């Protein structure tokens, strides 16, 4: 009996002893960030056990454990890097002081904003959202149209493409998932804005940079528009659009880990032109057939494969009238075939490296008929790219990559009588390497240094472009950024055709930026200076081709950009305001001296206003754009670039009405005030008998553009609509 009790007692003592020793092994301490501020809410625990606690006031935590020996203590908190440390549990209490480093996705992390506007990824704090592309009046659902309402761009109404900070249209390049797109814009009739070939619905986000961009992007002197295509789709749907300018149909089929989308589109503007008189002697107004597809597949746990293809045939013909022989129409016929293919694959590798591999292929073929002559211009572009990146530590992130660009351009001029009269072409190979490091010097200070090196096969030389930027957080919502860098780009195709060995054109950007973003409101101011050198100069005789091409040109652009956006002050109202001041001169092409080029206007501003009106289930919008006069050269007057046009003004409206859950009616009108905008003047190449050069204004073929469309979406539950896509 006693013996029995003794054994029981021993057993119980053993049990209680264990229980007591459990309470003895206490782990306590504090969790702080790098600046010594305590972190409340951090999860502190022993890996593979339930034992742990949450840090409270003062970052303090405390818990007990029954575990013994070598264990791993893990500390996690949203926005910070997970931290692990080995602990040896031998019954003694531990007192630990843990410091957490800011994670890659910290909420108020400092980011480099100099020169760039981020759009999309609708969750993050960004300046634009994907929907803005559709609902901005005057943008006519065109990608370039909406970016043209941001500061740093100039209104060049007869072109429609992006002109950034005193740079020509060709200095702004577009990248889809990191891959270069050649011939981003569709061909357009004279003085009619061209549209980008890619529909906004393909993209989930974009970053529009007006300077100072990363070493990853080359062959762009002034601007990089970086578009991110959508991920794997998760819904089956069919979209049908009936528009005043054509029809299209799109489908999406979604599987577990992949999706396929396709779109067919037919555009014919003839019925519209028969209603709205155009100041163009059309023979065949523009028509186009287009097909595109997108395939997405998840590979393994972290990889994703994206394929995209797009093919287009478009044509138009018209009579043009030269000022030299006003009575003689010049029959002009343009046929364009275009194909673009893009494939990218990215995945994680062992050791935390992430790779991205991509290739893009662009084929563009123009056939232009001019009376009896025919110009035949096939162009092939290839871009291959491989990048590796890794976050080495909380302080250092590395990105490195190699690229290869191929451009093959041929031009043949044929005459009906004489056959081939001129033929030229070039093939350019351009390998490039880049490396870039992000240094998180403190929670408030981020530095990025990068280097890009390119080899130009035609001029047979290497060109190195160093770039650096810095961002400093001045408050919870505000920061200052600065950037400096060298940028280079191969000369324009038509110039390389005449002089293939020209060196690249170069620019140096200096940018200083301040930005403050608070719940629904954004203000930014940016000032910049840009020096151009090695610009192409040539001599342009009255007759015949330009000659004597050199890299002797130069120029500069400087200015201030302002931006304000507010979608909070008034309910259901969102508006933004942009102003750009530009001072630029360049001595390039056949300029006799440094002068302001014809595409540059000194003051640009735009106001975009959007209001959702719940009572009529509609979103209405208005955009006003103003650009001060642009210079042009009048040979009847002394001097160069001696005259200036009147200011450009455009007030546009749009309306999107939700008829039912899956049906939207969209209407828009540009230039509702009917202002006669003059973009410049063109002059005869020879003076008439009285010694005067005849001239005429370059203007819009029609003052307004009206658009009406009905967008229908068929999905299983009839709950989707095209509003996010339009």
Instruction: Give the binding site for another protein (CB under 8 A).
Output: 2, 5, 8-9, 12, 15-16, 19, 22-23, 40-41, 43, 45, 47-54, 56, 66, 76, 78-79, 107, 122-125, 129-131, 235, 519-520, 567, 572, 574, 612, 614, 617, 658, 660-661, 715-717, 719-721, 723-724
C-alpha neighbours within 13 Å on the C-beta side of residue 77:
24
Nearer to another protein, 132 or 403 (CB): 132
Q: Residue 429 corresponds to which tokens in the numbers above?
A: 């190979």
What is the spatial distance between Cα 561 and Cα 579, in angstroms, rounded to a whole number? 6
Comparing C-alpha atoms, which of 696, 644, 697, 705 is closest to residue 674? Answer: 705
For residue 16, the surrounding DSSP H or E stretch is helix 2-24
Compute the residue count for the chain. Answer: 726
Nearer to another protein, 1 or 275 (CB): 1
Least separation, in Å, of the C-beta of 42 and another protein?
Answer: 8
Residue 601 and residue 582 in contact, taking contact as beta carbons nearer than 8 Å: yes
CB atoms within 10 A of CB 108: 15
What are the angstrom distances between the C-alpha of 332 and each of 87, 183, 286, 367, 490?
A: 81, 21, 12, 10, 30
What would you report as the CA-atom Rg of the chain, rounded to the nearest whole angstrom?
31
Least separation, in Å, of the C-beta of 263 and another protein?
Answer: 19
Nearer to another protein, 122 or 461 (CB): 122
Least separation, in Å, of the C-beta of 77 and another protein?
Answer: 9
Least separation, in Å, of the C-beta of 15 and another protein?
Answer: 6
Nearer to another protein, 21 or 540 (CB): 21
What is the spatial distance between Cα 162 and Cα 637, in angstroms, rounded to a whole number? 31
- Four-residue CA torsion sign, 662, 229, 622, 189: negative
What is the spatial distance between Cα 627 and Cα 602, in angstroms, rounded to a whole number? 8
Nearer to another protein, 23 or 95 (CB): 23
Output phi, psi for 14, to 5 deg. -60, -45
Least separation, in Å, of the C-beta of 186 and another protein?
Answer: 27
Least separation, in Å, of the C-beta of 724 and another protein?
Answer: 4
What is the spatial distance between Cα 714 and Cα 722, in angstroms, rounded to a whole number? 10
Nearer to another protein, 75 or 511 (CB): 75
* DSSP-based three-state secondary structure for 715: strand
Nearer to another protein, 12 or 548 (CB): 12
* DSSP-based three-state secondary structure for 497: helix
Least separation, in Å, of the C-beta of 130 and another protein?
Answer: 8
Least separation, in Å, of the C-beta of 50 and another protein?
Answer: 5
C-alpha neighbours within 13 Å on the C-beta side of residue 402:
2
Nearer to another protein, 80 or 588 (CB): 80
Least separation, in Å, of the C-beta of 254 and another protein?
Answer: 11
Nearer to another protein, 532 or 711 (CB): 711
Q: Strand pairing of 52-54 and 60-64?
A: unpaired
Least separation, in Å, of the C-beta of 58 and another protein?
Answer: 13
What is the spatial distance between Cα 189 and Cα 195, in angstroms, rounded to a whole number? 11
Comparing C-alpha atoms, which of 167, 159, 214 is closest to residue 187? Answer: 159
What is the spatial distance between Cα 434 and Cα 454, in angstroms, rounded to a whole number? 9
Least separation, in Å, of the C-beta of 23 and another protein?
Answer: 7
Residue 363 and residue 380 in contact, taking contact as beta carbons nearer than 8 Å: yes
Looking up tokens 């201030």 gives 560
Q: Residue 221 corresponds to which tokens in the numbers above?
A: 């002197």
Nearer to another protein, 122 or 420 (CB): 122
Nearer to another protein, 47 or 392 (CB): 47
Comparing C-alpha atoms, which of 103, 110, 218 is closest to residue 481? Answer: 110
Least separation, in Å, of the C-beta of 51 and another protein?
Answer: 8
* 598 Rama class: left (phi>0) / alpha (psi -120 to 50) / beta: alpha
C-alpha neighbours within 13 Å on the C-beta side of residue 309:
7
Comparing C-alpha atoms, which of 16, 75, 138, 303 is closest to residue 654? Answer: 138
For residue 8, the surrounding DSSP H or E stretch is helix 2-24
Nearer to another protein, 122 or 637 (CB): 122
Nearer to another protein, 323 or 655 (CB): 655
Nearer to another protein, 134 or 535 (CB): 134
Least separation, in Å, of the C-beta of 125 and another protein?
Answer: 6
Least separation, in Å, of the C-beta of 320 and another protein?
Answer: 43
Nearer to another protein, 426 or 711 (CB): 711
Comparing C-alpha atoms, which of 83, 107, 87, 79 is closest to residue 31? Answer: 83
Least separation, in Å, of the C-beta of 726 and another protein?
Answer: 9
Q: Residue 483 corresponds to which tokens in the numbers above?
A: 């950037």
Residue 547 and residue 563 in contact, taking contact as beta carbons nearer than 8 Å: no
What is the spatial distance between Cα 361 and Cα 238, in angstroms, rounded to a whole number? 28
Nearer to another protein, 8 or 85 (CB): 8
Residue 43 and residue 50 in contact, taking contact as beta carbons nearer than 8 Å: no
Least separation, in Å, of the C-beta of 531 and another protein?
Answer: 38
What is the spatial distance between Cα 345 and Cα 384, in angstroms, rounded to a whole number? 12
What is the spatial distance between Cα 586 and Cα 553, in angstroms, rounded to a whole number? 8
């Amino acid at each position: 009996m006693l013996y029995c009790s003794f054994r029981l007692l021993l057993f119980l003592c053993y049990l209680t002893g264990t229980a007591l020793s459990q309470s003895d092994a206490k782990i306590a301490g504090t969790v702080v960030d790098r600046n010594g501020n305590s972190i409340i809410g951090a999860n502190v625990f022993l890996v593979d056990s339930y034992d742990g606690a949450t840090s409270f006031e003062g970052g303090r935590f405390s818990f007990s454990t029954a575990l013994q020996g070598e264990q791993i203590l893990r500390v996690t908190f949203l926005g910070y890097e997970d931290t692990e440390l080995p602990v040896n549990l031998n019954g003694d209490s531990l007192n630990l002081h843990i410091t957490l480093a800011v994670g890659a996705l910290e909420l108020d992390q400092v980011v480099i904003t100099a020169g760039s506007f981020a759009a999309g990824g609708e969750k993050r704090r960004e300046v634009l959202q994907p929907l803005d592309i559709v609902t901005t009046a005057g943008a006519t659902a065109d990608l370039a149209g909406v970016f043209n309402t941001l500061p740093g761009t100039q209104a060049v109404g007869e072109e429609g493409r992006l002109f950034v900070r005193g740079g020509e249209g060709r200095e702004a390049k577009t990248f889809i998932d990191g891959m270069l797109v050649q011939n981003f814009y569709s061909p357009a009739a004279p003085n009619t804005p061209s549209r980008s070939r890619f529909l906004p619905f393909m993209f989930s986000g974009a970053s529009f940079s007006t300077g100072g961009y990363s070493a990853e992007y080359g062959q762009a002197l002034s601007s990089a528009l970086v578009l991110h295509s959508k991920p794997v789709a998760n819904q089956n749907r069919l979209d049908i659009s009936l528009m005043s300018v054509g029809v299209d149909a799109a489908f999406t089929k979604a599987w577990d880990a992949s999706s396929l989308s396709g779109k067919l589109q037919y555009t014919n503007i003839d019925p519209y032109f028969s209603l709205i008189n155009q100041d163009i002697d059309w023979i065949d107004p523009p028509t186009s057939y287009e097909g595109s597809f997108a395939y997405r597949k998840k590979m393994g746990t972290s990889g994703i494969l994206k394929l995209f293809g797009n093919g287009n045939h478009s044509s138009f013909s018209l009579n043009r009238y030269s000022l030299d022989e006003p009575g003689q129409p010049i029959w002009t016929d343009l046929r364009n075939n275009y194909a673009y293919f893009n494939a990218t694959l990215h995945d994680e590798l062992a050791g935390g490296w992430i790779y991205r591999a991509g290739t893009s292929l662009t084929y563009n073929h123009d056939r232009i008929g001019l009376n009896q002559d025919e110009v035949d211009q096939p162009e092939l572009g290839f871009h291959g790219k491989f990048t590796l990146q890794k976050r080495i530590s909380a302080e250092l992130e590395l990105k490195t990559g190699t690229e290869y660009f191929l451009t093959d351009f041929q031009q043949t001029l044929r005459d009906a009588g004489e056959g081939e009269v001129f033929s030229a072409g070039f093939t350019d190979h351009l390998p490039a390497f880049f490396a870039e490091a992000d240094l998180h010097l403190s929670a408030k200070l981020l530095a990025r240094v990068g280097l890009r090196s390119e080899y130009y096969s035609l001029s047979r030389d290497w060109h190195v472009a160093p770039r650096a930027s810095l961002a400093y957080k001045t408050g919870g919502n505000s920061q200052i950024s600065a950037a400096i860098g060298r940028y280079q780009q191969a000369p324009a195709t038509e110039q390389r055709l005449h002089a293939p060995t020209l060196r690249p054109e170069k620019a140096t950007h200096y940018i200083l930026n301040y930005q403050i973003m608070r719940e629904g409101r954004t203000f930014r101011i940016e000032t910049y200076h840009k020096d151009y050198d090695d610009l192409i100069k040539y001599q342009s005789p009255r007759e015949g081709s330009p000659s004597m091409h050199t890299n002797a040109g130069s120029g500069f652009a400087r200015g201030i950009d302002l931006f304000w956006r507010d979608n909070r002050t008034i309910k259901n109202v969102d508006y933004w305001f942009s102003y750009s001041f530009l001072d630029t001169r360049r001595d390039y092409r056949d300029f006799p001296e440094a002068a302001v080029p014809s595409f540059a206007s000194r003051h640009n501003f735009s106001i975009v206003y959007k209001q959702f009106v719940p009572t009529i289930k509609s979103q209405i919008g208005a955009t006003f754009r103003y650009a001060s006069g642009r210079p042009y050269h009048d040979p009847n007057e002394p001097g160069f670039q001696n005259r200036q046009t009147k200011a450009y003004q455009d007030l546009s409206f749009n309306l999107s009405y939700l008829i039912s859950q899956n049906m939207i009616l969209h209407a828009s009108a540009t230039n509702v005030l009917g202002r006669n905008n003059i973009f410049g003047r063109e002059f005869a190449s020879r003076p008439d008998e009285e010694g005067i050069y005849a001239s005429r204004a370059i203007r819009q073929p029609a003052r307004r553009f009206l658009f009406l469309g009905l967008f229908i979406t068929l999905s299983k539950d009839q709950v989707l609509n095209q509003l996010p896509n339009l």
